[in-house]
Amino acid sequence: MPRREETVASFRNGIALLRSFGPDSRRQTITEAGARTGVSRAAARRLLRTLCEAGLARTDGKHFELTPAVLEIGQNFLSGMTEIDIIRGVLGDYARQTGGSVSAAMLVGTEVIYIARQPSPGQQLPTALGAGMRRPAHATAIGHVLLASLGERELARYFETAELAAYTPRTITNRRDLRTRLAAVRAQGYAMLDEELALGQRSIAVAVPPNAAGTRIGIASGSATQARSLAELTGTLLPALRQAAGVIAMAVDRA
């Protein structure tokens, strides 16, 4: 992480403001945007006006909303990753082989951001659940395998900023308990969560061995609790996930 004096606060605030727009806040007033990002009303107004000038947002005079132009930022990142096409292909093979849905994600701060998702055969993936979706690392299996792959210094930084919110009664919200879980994940080589992000859902994940650039990617497969038992996740999905992770690692190194 760069030292504080080497960062630009206004740019950081602009990023926070962009992230403040979401499914429940697609349109915001200046006051609402300021409250969500913790910046002053005057700063929020300048940032929103700047986004409008850049074509990334628009306003009716009172409310502001992002424009489709923001997708270009993410698309430029994805198009620059030669791994993406490889990952998509491997995830497609996994879904056809197991009949299950599967996702790939990277750890960014205290969240995981999905870079590719493949639904079960015959199912369509809603746009809201596609690439770019963010989820809390502490409440997802894919987040656990990525956190478990961090060095102690990186993990300490995570715990300094993470808010371990409870999404279900099963969610781990105690830092000591989460550290214990991550140690177990590191030892066994996979993470399995049962109804910790959403009731009725369980998932299992493995980490892809990092490439030469040090990129850390995790892949996970989820299931409704009534569809697959925990034993099926470890007995059927886990071997297939590990195989897929190995294929991705080898293919990316050769790309």
Name the pLDDT band for 121 (thresholds 50, 70, 90): confident
pLDDT above 60 (res 56):
yes
User: Is 72 or 166 the better-scoring residue by pLDDT?
Assistant: 166
Name the pLDDT band for 132 (thresholds 50, 70, 90): confident
Give pLDDT tens digits for 189-233. 999 999 999 999 999 999 998 765 567 899 999 888 888 889 989
pLDDT > 90: percent of the chain: 52
Name the pLDDT band for 129 (thresholds 50, 70, 90): low
**HEC profile of the chain:** CCCHHHCCHHHHHHHHHHHHCCCCCCCECHHHHHHHHCCCHHHHHHHHHHHHHCCCEEECCCCEEECHHHHHHHHHHHHCCCHHHHHHHHHHHHHHHHCCCEEEEEEECCEEEEEEEECCCCCCCCHHHCCCCEEEHHHCHHHHHHHHCCCHHHHHHHHHHCCCCCCCCCCCCCHHHHHHHHHHHHHHCCEEEECCCCCCEEEEEEEECCCCCCCCEEEEEEEECCCCCHHHHHHHHHHHHHHHHHHHHHHHHHC
Name the pLDDT band for 80 (thresholds 50, 70, 90): low
User: Which domains does the chain show, CATH number per domain?
Assistant: 4-69 (1.10.10.10), 81-254 (3.30.450.40)
This prediction's pTM: 0.70
pLDDT above 90 (res 78):
no
Give pLDDT tens digits for 5-18. 555 788 888 888 88
* Structure confidence at residue 74 (pLDDT): 67
- Average pLDDT on 110-125 reads 80
